[in-house]
Amino acid sequence: MPAYHIAVLPGDGIGPEVTAAALQVLDATVARLDDVQLRYEELSVGAGEYLKSGNPLPESAVERMRAADAILLGAMGLPSVRWPNGVEMTPQIDIREKLDLFNGVRPIKLYHPAHSPLKGFGGAEGKPIDFVIIRENCEGLFSERLTPRPEGRDFETDTMKITRHGAERVCREAFKLAATRRGHVTLVDKANVLPSMAFFRKVFDAVAPEFPAITTDHVYVDAMALFLVQRPETYDVMVTENMFGDILSDLAAGIVGGMGMAPSADIGPAHAVFQPSHGTAPTIAGQGIANPIATILSAALMLDWLGHPESQRGARMIEAAVAATLAFSAYMRGLLAEPRSHHHRRSHHRRHRRPLTVSRFSPCASSISLCPSDPVCAA
Ligand SMILES: NC(=O)c1ccc[n+]([C@@H]2O[C@H](COP(=O)([O-])OP(=O)(O)OC[C@H]3O[C@@H](n4cnc5c(N)ncnc54)[C@H](O)[C@@H]3O)[C@@H](O)[C@H]2O)c1
């Protein structure tokens, strides 16, 4: 029986809350599977670790991650904890680079019409929103962020680095994914202005003939910001560089219910990290109101990636449980909530004291139901 070693990095802010909820779901799922076990090893990484030890990402933790079969991460960083040059510590990005997790897979799916601020989407009547952003994770505009720079200059620059190797491999992953879906890949670039992006486009166009069954198009990133609001139903898989993927991920999350609805997988040749697309949301940390769905769905992506038929059955169980749970609009109130005022925050807090977790299970061994342990949803 495979006993997978899972490195668990709860991180900072709401990271520990959403990770705890995902572990509950994983435990409930694994209990219903034959032949699969998970063994967790918790590692301290993030702004909190920096405050304790002076290093947000100790090398010993990276070694344990390398030894693990997969890595589950909450979120890292706190706006108040910064390096002397003013930028935050970002171990979640350092991990992608150290473990070569070039393929950032970010599924975006609308589960209920009421979750979207857009009209006419979701449910039996509306247009579906169901696409995947593939974000290149190891180069692009983030690539030289750690390069030491002379102090006291009157300028700073950041380099958009695109290599043939980096662009080819991420484009191939986008095409392979599209072959399992609706068969279309959109390249999101800025090839009208930036030579690095024109190069990315040439590489994309050179890879495309390897996948003759897949149709393609190109969209400039500024236009994509518009189209994601106007006609998100037209996209299947989109591939883009690191920073554009970072920004579009938040926009895309916004049209399906917010950051708490957007899972991700950062996949490399030998390792993979599964984490929500969101950050540490420090203003809502510790209140029990963070939406854990993105982390729960990231755990499902992890079970899928582990590749065992039973772990993959577990992934389908979690996805089905999330879809069934979110089909009830009663669950909605815990999802979109971004407290807008003191009064709203207090009333919201009373209704949603605890995050959505597994608190009761259906009698059927092949499915799980999720229920917030909250009176409004227990009805
Ligand atoms: N992968 C990561 O670990 C990661 C990603 C992005 C930002 N960060 C860090 O997180 C901190 C906060 O960054 P930010 O505010 O720009 O982004 P954020 O994603 O933490 O928050 C953006 C907005 O979404 C809300 N939100 C996020 N996750 C939510 C959830 N699960 N449920 C309900 N609401 C949720 C927040 O309250 C906030 O209004 C910063 O220190 C940043 O560097 C970390």
Same domain, yes or no, for 31 and 87? yes
- For residue 362, pLDDT over 80 is answered with no
| Whether the CB of 296 sits within 6 Å of ligand 1 | no
Same domain, yes or no, for 275 and 234? no
| pLDDT tens-digit series, residues 201-240 | 999 999 999 999 999 999 999 999 999 999 999 999 999 9
Average pLDDT over the chain reads: 89
| Whether the CB of 283 sits within 6 Å of ligand 1 | yes
pLDDT for the residue numbered 358: 53
Q: Is residue 139 part of a domain?
A: yes
Count of CA atoms in the C-beta half-sphere (13 A) of 41: 17
Q: Is residue 58 part of a domain?
A: yes
Reported confidence tier of residue 146, pLDDT bands at 50, 70, 90: confident
Same domain, yes or no, for 246 and 299? no
| Whether the CB of 94 sits within 6 Å of ligand 1 | no
pLDDT for the residue numbered 157: 93
Pick the residue with more confidence: 131 or 379? 131
Same domain, yes or no, for 183 and 217? yes
Distance of alpha carbon 257 from alpha carbon 141, whole angstroms: 28
pLDDT for the residue numbered 360: 44
pLDDT for the residue numbered 365: 42
Compute, in angstroms, the gap from residue 292 CA to the centroid of ligand 1. 12
Same domain, yes or no, for 244 and 292? no
For ligand 1, pick from 93, 101, 280 the residue to mutate: most ligand atoms within 8 Å of CB: 280
Same domain, yes or no, for 250 and 291? no
Cα–Cα distances (Å) from 244 to 190, 204, 219, in that order, read 9, 16, 12
Same domain, yes or no, for 70 and 137? no
Tell me the two tokens of residue 356: 């959505």
pLDDT for the residue numbered 288: 85
Tell me the two tokens of residue 6: 């899972």
Q: Is residue 294 part of a domain?
A: yes
Q: Which domain holds residue 72?
A: 1-100+271-379
Same domain, yes or no, for 238 and 275? no
Q: What is the 3-state secondary structure (H, E, C) of 302-370?
A: HHHHHCCHHHHHHHHHHHHHHHHHHCCHHHHHHCCCCCCCHHHHHHHHHHCCCCEECCCCCCCCCCCCC
Same domain, yes or no, for 250 and 343? no
Q: Is residue 261 part of a domain?
A: no
Least confident of 243-247, 265-269, 370-374: 370-374
| Whether the CB of 291 sits within 6 Å of ligand 1 | yes
Amino acid at 116: S
| Whether the CB of 284 sits within 6 Å of ligand 1 | yes
Least confident of 5-9, 44-48, 250-254, 346-350: 346-350
Same domain, yes or no, for 237 and 286? no
Q: Is residue 122 part of a domain?
A: no
* Phi/psi at 224 (5° precision): -65, -35
CATH number where 166 lies: 3.40.50.2300
81-98 exposure pattern, b = at least 16 Cβ within 10 A, e = fewer: eeeeeeebbbbbbbbbbb
**Residue finishing a domain among 225, 254, 283:** 254
Distance of alpha carbon 52 from alpha carbon 308, whole angstroms: 38
Q: Is residue 309 part of a domain?
A: yes
Compute, in angstroms, the gap from residue 146 CA to the centroid of ligand 1. 22
| pLDDT tens-digit series, residues 326-355 | 877 555 444 544 444 444 444 444 444 444
| pLDDT tens-digit series, residues 56-82 | 999 999 999 999 999 999 999 999 999
Same domain, yes or no, for 139 and 229? yes
Pick the residue with more confidence: 343 or 5? 5
Mean pLDDT on 98-103: 98
Tell me the two tokens of residue 205: 């166009």
Pick the residue with more confidence: 379 or 69? 69
**Residue finishing a domain among 206, 222, 254:** 254
Amino acid at 182: R
Tell me the two tokens of residue 226: 């518009």
List, in sequence order, every residue forming a beta bridge with 238; answer none if it has no partner: 133, 186
Distance of alpha carbon 48 from alpha carbon 37, whole angstroms: 30
Mean pLDDT on 272-300: 95
* Phi/psi at 253 (5° precision): -60, -40
| Whether the CB of 79 sits within 6 Å of ligand 1 | yes
Distance of alpha carbon 378 from alpha carbon 292, whole angstroms: 18
CATH number where 346 lies: 3.40.718.10
Distance of alpha carbon 144 from alpha carbon 161, whole angstroms: 8
pLDDT for the residue numbered 379: 30
Least confident of 62-66, 71-75, 189-193, 356-360: 356-360
Mean pLDDT on 116-137: 95
Q: Is residue 123 part of a domain?
A: no
Mean pLDDT on 267-293: 95
Write down how long the chain is. Answer: 379
| Whether the CB of 75 sits within 6 Å of ligand 1 | yes
User: Do residues 47 and 81 touch, judged by C-beta distance below 8 A?
Assistant: yes
Task: Report the nearest atom of ligand 1 relative to the CA of 93.
Answer: 1
Task: Report the nearest atom of ligand 1 relative to the CA of 75.
Answer: 3
**Residue finishing a domain among 227, 254, 281:** 254
Pick the residue whose CA is nearest to atom 7 on ligand 1.
279
Percent of the chain with pLDDT over 90: 78
Percent of the chain with pLDDT over 70: 86
Distance of alpha carbon 53 from alpha carbon 78, whole angstroms: 16
Mean pLDDT on 92-104: 96
Same domain, yes or no, for 137 and 222? yes
pLDDT for the residue numbered 339: 42
Q: Name the nearest CA neighbour of 266 among 293, 310, 301, 300.
A: 301
Q: Is 19 exposed, middle or buried (0-12, 13-18, 19+ CB in 10 A)?
A: buried
| pLDDT tens-digit series, residues 8-29 | 999 999 999 999 999 999 999 9
Report how many domains make up the chain: 2
Q: Is residue 276 part of a domain?
A: yes
286 Rama class: left (phi>0) / alpha (psi -120 to 50) / beta: left
Tell me the two tokens of residue 27: 């435990």
Pick the residue whose CA is nearest to atom 33 on ligand 1.
290
What is residue 37's DSSP assignment?
E
Global pTM value: 0.91
Q: Name the nearest CA neighbour of 75 among 98, 50, 47, 99.
A: 47
